[in-house]
Structure 1
Amino acid sequence: MLAVTGTLPTDPSRWSYELKWDGLRIVAGIDVAGIDVAGIDVAGIDVAGAQSAAAVRLVSRNGRDVSVSFPEVVQALTDWGRRTATSAVLDGEIVATGPAGTPDFGLLQERMHVADPARAATLARRIPLTYLVFDVLQLGGVDLCRTPYDDRRDVLDGLGLAGGVQVPPRFAGSAQAALDFTREHGLEGVIAKRRDASYRPGVRSDAWVKTRHLQTQDVVVGGWTAGTGGRSTDFGALLVGVPDGDLLRYVGAVGTGWTDAALRATTATLAGLATPSAPFRELPAAVARSGHWVRPVLRGEVSFSGWTRDGRLRHPVWRGFRPDL
């Protein structure tokens, strides 16, 4: 279930307020021997795991099994399943906490796309993560999707999740107080959830309304420009667009927001996606002359200060690749 973007509803008797987390959306399936988590359709994602004691599967929003990348989350959920002898399907976000004590998506990105268990274990020690669970869709083989939000939250609060898997509290107060709190603490925003709403797998529903403090935009990478100076061995900027039929509509060049390690890794990834023709519908002449083109398969997110009159991003900053889009 996905939220719509809009103005937060202000009636706390009908709406509950949660912090919006800057992380990776994950549905977790926990199988306990004799209880199967299959039979629930979460955005078309099969969350059924192997039929063994407390088998755990982590699935991203686009249906990819990412269990190997996050071994500490798998272990924490496995321990919970063994301790409670209960199967479950949970929905939440995996987040990394930066030096400022707030979620850091750039840090989280270093943990993504890791297919080697040994490397994933090493990264888990260096960059610890937390799985913040905000919904329970199935428990003990019982489908809870038709259960009202308030009742699902009561069930979730009683599960006893701890350690690297936590249930973040709902915000006690008004919508404006939630907005003020998240702004003051450098958090991404607030999401309001209608108290009587069911969970609708795969649906973007106005029963969930989100508001962000930063303007962000999902983009597709269609090319890059060469770097200069200290970045002469890496790309200078990514050329990005948004889908427009079979091609992309160009929205700008993004040249900031990477660590040195991310620059090197992204440069290597771009080299493997080279294509002779631009995937954009139209391009400014200067960009057309200087661009190097890639197959439009990489999706990411940028923050920006606004749009120009000709539909370009103002002051875009790269926030990270989004394998969940």
Structure 2
Amino acid sequence: MIRVALAAPVRTLPRGAGLAYEPKFDGHRLVVLRSATDVTLQARSGRIVTSAFPDLAAAALQLPADTVLDGEVVVWHAGRTDFALVQRRAAATAARAAVLAQRLPASYAAFDVLELAGLDVRARPYERRRALLVDLLLPLGPPLQPVPMTTDPELAATWYETLPASGIEGLVVKRLDQAYPAGRRGWQKLRHTDVRDAAVVGYTGTPRRPLALVLVLPVGDETPLVSSPLTAALRTEVAAEVAARGAASPALATVTAIGFGDVPFRTLDPPLAAEVRHTSARHPPPEVLRLRTDL
């Protein structure tokens, strides 16, 4: 399993000498491993998702043997990236994935190279790895592409203000002299949306078919909130997490949902963690973007 680099959130745009700025795409983290014979696609959690993205696996066969890339898989729709469509692709069965690859083709926004033709380059400075990445991918073209990068903080600030219309959720900031920080929050991220991690203290629906999550946000009075309805992919993932906890029946409780009154839910102890988008304590309800199984 490849341990990927992580980013720590910041509230303002970091500035200073020796920094690089990249757009932060709203997709699924994906490691591409090209062996001598085939391609393996690994999610951030370590799960192998090759069968869900046959189009990217086929494209990655153009890479040199023993090459490893780190990046984000996205799906473009109507001129912007669409996270719900990435979720749909990721949850597809192998048979369904082939159909979706034609209807909803994936793109790979690569932002680092970890191994190139059998040479481990993670200890090299980011500036050098970036040059290797661009030299590797530009001749190949879509759907494998290097993410844009600038060392100009003013251009980065312009990206930050204008790119959300294209589905870009912020910026990732890296030091030019930095080795690849595997498994550590060695990068920084500035998000444009009200995205945060929340504690998942329960769920509505049944263990096999969760409908929404009951969340406690890290700010506020810790009053539980009911999320908006889960996507099909998230229902499947939450059901798997519940099943992995064993056969014990979860306790029942109630939570007040805006517009619905008291709603019964099943508790989770210990809680899970989820990344949510939330703009108001009243309306709309928090939108669950993904489970944070890495926390």
Per the TM superposition, whether the score is higher than 0.5 is yes
Secondary structure of the residue aligned to 1:158 is: helix
Aligned partner of 1:102: which letter? R
Shift of 1:120: 1.3
Equivalent in the alignment of 2:144? 165
* Aligned counterpart, 1:146: 123
Q: Give the TM-score normalised by the residue count of structure 1.
A: 0.71
Larger strand proportion of the pair: 2
Task: Please say if 1:15 is aligned against 2:29.
Answer: no
Residue of 115, 118, 136 corresponding to 2:95: 118
Between structure 1 and structure 2, the one with the greater Rg is 1
CA distances 1:195-217 after superposition (whole Å, capped 9, x unpaired): 11110211111xx2110011112
Amino acid at match of 2:88: E
Residue 255 of structure 1 deviates from its aligned partner by: 2.5
Aligned-residue offset at 1:185: 4.5
Mapped to 1, the partners of 2:158 and 2:125 lie a distance apart of: 24
CA gap of 1:121–1:185, structure 2 versus 1, over 3 A, is: closer
**Alignment partner, residue 92 of structure 1:** 71
- The TM-score normalised by the length of structure 2 is 0.78
Identity %, equivalent residues: 34
Q: What SS does the corresponding residue of 1:192 show, helix, strand or coil?
A: strand
> Gaps (5+ residues) in structure 1?
33-52, 227-233, 244-248
Paired with 1:118 and 1:235, the residues of 2 have a C-alpha distance of 25
In the alignment, the residues of structure 1 paired with residue 238 and residue 120 of structure 2 have an alpha-carbon distance, to the nearest angstrom, of 44
Distance 1:21 1:89, change over 3 A: same
Distance 1:108 1:187 in 2: 14
Residue of structure 2 aligned with 1:211, choices 176, 184, 190: 190
Indicate whether 1:59 and 2:42 are aligned. Answer: yes
Equivalents in 1 of 2:26, 2:255: separation in Å?
A: 36
Deviations 1:105-133 (CA, angstroms, capped at 9, x unpaired): 1111111233x322211121222111111
The separation in 2 between residues aligned to 1:95 and 1:212, in whole angstroms, is: 17
- CA deviations 1:179-236 (Å, max 9, x no partner) are 223245452011111111110211111xx2110011112345443346xxxxxxx876
1:119 aligned partner, one-letter code: R
Residue 63 of structure 1 aligns to a residue whose secondary structure is coil
Instruction: Report the equivalent of 2:113.
Output: 136
1:69 CA drift (Å): 0.9
CA-based RMSD of the aligned residues comes to 3.5
Q: How many residues align?
A: 273
| Partner Cα distance (1:29, 1:285) in 2 | 45
- Is structure 2 residue 31 aligned with structure 1 residue 27? yes
Q: Distance in 1 between matches of 2:144 and 2:293?
A: 20
Q: 1:291 aligns to what?
A: 265
Contact 2:90 2:233 in 1 (8 A): no
Which residue identity lines up with residue 289 of structure 2 in the other structure?
G
Q: 2:255 aligned with 1:276, yes or no?
A: no
Instruction: Structure 2: give runs of 5+ residues left out of the alignment.
Output: none
Structure 2 Cα separation of the partners of residues 187 and 19 of structure 1: 7
Q: Residue 214 of structure 2 corresponds to which residue in structure 1?
A: 239
